[in-house]
Structure 1
Amino acid sequence: RKRRLHLNQIGRIAEGQIVELVEHPPESQAARKGLFRAAARPLRDMRPRHLVSYSYLISGVSYQTAQDITGLESQIRLERLVAGQPASIKYDASNPSDSILVADDWSGLR
């Protein structure tokens, strides 16, 4: 969340596009116990995880990455999110591979 807030404050905006939206089921109880079946971590949010892949071009270099948007659904209409859809991306000018598509109070989706 800190990284997302930082990028929202300092990020430059570039044009990109949605590559895909993938929904992952919540982790199973067994997966949360770890490699050696140690004690389980505190219960996590059991909602499905939503991962949005997107691509963008900065100074002739193409980037493709993804953002877990779980918890930011209020900023997005998932039913209207489709591959190829144009989007604005906020990125760190000193590290263009560091980017976001959605923040707590900003969305690059149209």
Structure 2
Amino acid sequence: MHVFDGREPRLIGGVAAGALVVLGICWWFIRRLRPSADELERRRCESISMNGRITDGYLVDARSLDGEESLSPTPEVLFYSYRLAGVTYNCAQDVSRLPERVRGFRLDQAVQVRYDPRNPGNSILVSESWSGLWLRQSSTEPKEQQHHD
């Protein structure tokens, strides 16, 4: 019963190659199922927008992803602050994938912040389905759409 006793090197090589192919396919399948960082962030924001509590806060700053001040009407990062139970939270949210949700923001404006009650530092200003920003009225937008909830 010694199949691999050295008499059949091609058989050993074939089995080893087959095992490597099966392992490679398994690795690729597992890797493909793992969500990307963008998908994880989207899921986090949606979870907070659906299950989070709302508190008042205010916009502190707007910057680009490289840290430069942003005068753009659609910044990439918004910095905001809010206070809960005597603790002040200073947070930032990457909003670069949601430019239509932040167009028309104003610094030092009051905002609504959604946060996770189990982890109050885990918060958002905007998501794909919710916005706590009071946006400036554009000439083409009806007044009742000025604030997104």
Give the TM interval when normalised to the shorter protein.
Answer: 0.7 to 0.9
Q: How many residues align?
A: 86
Q: Percent of aligned positions with the same letter in both sequences?
A: 36
For structure 2, the residue ranges without an aligned partner over 5 or more in a row are: 1-41, 67-73, 135-149
* Superposition deviation, residue 89 in structure 1: 0.2
Give the TM-score normalised by structure 1: 0.73
Q: Which has the larger radius of gyration?
A: 2
Give the TM-score normalised by structure 2: 0.54
Q: Match for 2:82 among 52, 56, 68?
A: 56
Structure holding more strand per residue? 1
Task: Give runs of ≥4 in structure 1 deviating > 4 Å.
Answer: none
Counterpart of 2:125 in structure 1 is 101
Change (3 A) 1:49 1:88: closer
Counterpart of 2:9 in structure 1 is none
Structure possessing the higher relative contact order (Cα contacts under 8 Å, 6 or more residues apart): 1
Kept in 2, the 8 Å contact 1:21–1:82? The answer is no
Structure holding more helix per residue? 2
For structure 1, the residue ranges without an aligned partner over 5 or more in a row are: 26-47
Amino acid at match of 1:18: L
Q: RMSD between aligned alpha carbons?
A: 1.6
Q: Match for 2:114 among 87, 90, 93?
A: 90
Residue 42 of structure 2 corresponds to residue 21 of structure 1: no
The C-alpha deviation readout for 1:3-52, integer Å capped at 9, x for no partner, is 11110111000000000000135xxxxxxxxxxxxxxxxxxxxxx97010
